[in-house]
Amino acid sequence: MSDFLHFPQGRPFDLLAFGDPNIDLLFTVDRAPQADQKVLGRRLPPHAGGTVANVACAAGLLGRPTLAYGRIADDGEGEFLRREYERFGVVTSHLRVVPDATSPTALIIIEASGEKALVYSPMPGPTLHAESFSAALAQSRLLYSMPYNLPEFEQLHALARAADVPLAIDIETAMVPDRAHLHRLLSLCDLAFMNDTTFHAILGAAPQEETMASLLGFGARTLVVSCGARGAMLVTHDQAITQPAFAAEVVDSTGAGDSFNGAFLAALLEGQPLEDTLRFACAAGSIAVTATGARSALPTRAQVAALLQRP
């Protein structure tokens, strides 16, 4: 068990994933178009996606009991999203069906290099319903969320604190208009993930141990920054760890960060030391880039273990 986070015991689910799953519409191109430019591409079959949903599926596939909380449309796409959760072992009893709605959708353009650009259309209205969410929290040891909606996230934080459930978040550039907003998010979580692109965009510099450690003063106990092919970095109030990446042939980077986060949380929840947890997450992230689609190459525990055993 980690000495810096307290996880409640005797609850059936390790991870509660808060957020709506979405349909991913994927196009492959040589290079993403610029403004007023048209390029030829190839459309791929729709995939189930959503950052929080991908993390839930990553953790579920790695064997951690995971509960999804979110919304789906009352149509074939919604049912597809439910089945995809269940295919990865994620429990969907708190997935709410919304009549006369359209499932959230992401348009993802994948370049030949494996890099991507995307447009996201969310489902209107609030995801959070306090009574049902409190019931889900009472069954869970750790909450994971993407804090795009600050008022909703503040309510989420209050409910998690009342239930004695630690809160982990992933911070993206689009949700942080300035440093004050970043500081507010860090004050409302226990564990924060970022990638190096987000870190540089917000803070104006590449992630370094000293800068990362200074951010912990705003409230988070741990900050993890993934750096793609350069690996990942982690700081707590008394540790700083750097883990090199594992070699991988990049086909599609979509979902690699979600695989990393899900694997990190899975290892953390089962009590692995932080050094091993970060290494486990880097291995999972490197496997996830080897196929097209956010969940197409989410690794099993056996696949991660095999990679970790390589010289």
For the chain, the domains span 13-21+50-102+126-309
Per the CB < 8 A criterion, the answer to whether 42 and 28 are in contact is yes
The domain covering 13-21+50-102+126-309 belongs, at the CATH homologous superfamily level, to Ribokinase (3.40.1190.20)
pLDDT value for 164? 95
Distance (Å, rounded) from C-alpha 119 to C-alpha 127? Answer: 20
Name the strand (E) or helix (H) holding 110: strand 105-110
Please state whether beta strands 116-121 and 140-145 pair in parallel, antiparallel, or not at all (unpaired).
Answer: unpaired
The dihedrals phi and psi of 275, each to the nearest 5 degrees, come to: -60, -45
- Centroid of chain to Cα 244: 20
Distance (Å, rounded) from C-alpha 145 to C-alpha 175? Answer: 13
Per the CB < 8 A criterion, the answer to whether 301 and 63 are in contact is yes
> How many CB atoms within 10 Å of residue 239?
13
Per the CB < 8 A criterion, the answer to whether 51 and 133 are in contact is no
The size of the chain, in residues, is: 311
In the chain, % helix, strand, coil (3-state, to 5) comes to: 35, 25, 40
pLDDT value for 3? 46
Distance (Å, rounded) from C-alpha 87 to C-alpha 81? Answer: 10
Token duo for residue 41 = 């591409």
Token duo for residue 105 = 């959708």
> How many CB atoms within 10 Å of residue 214?
13
SS3 304: helix
Per-position pLDDT tens, the chain of length 311 = 344 688 999 999 999 999 999 998 989 999 999 999 999 999 989 989 999 999 999 999 999 999 999 999 999 999 999 999 999 999 999 999 999 999 999 998 989 887 888 898 999 999 999 999 999 999 999 999 999 999 999 999 999 999 999 999 999 999 999 999 999 999 999 999 999 999 999 999 999 999 999 999 999 999 999 998 899 999 999 999 999 999 888 887 778 999 999 999 999 999 999 999 999 999 999 999 888 777 888 999 999 999 999 87
DSSP letter at 245? P
pLDDT value for 142? 98
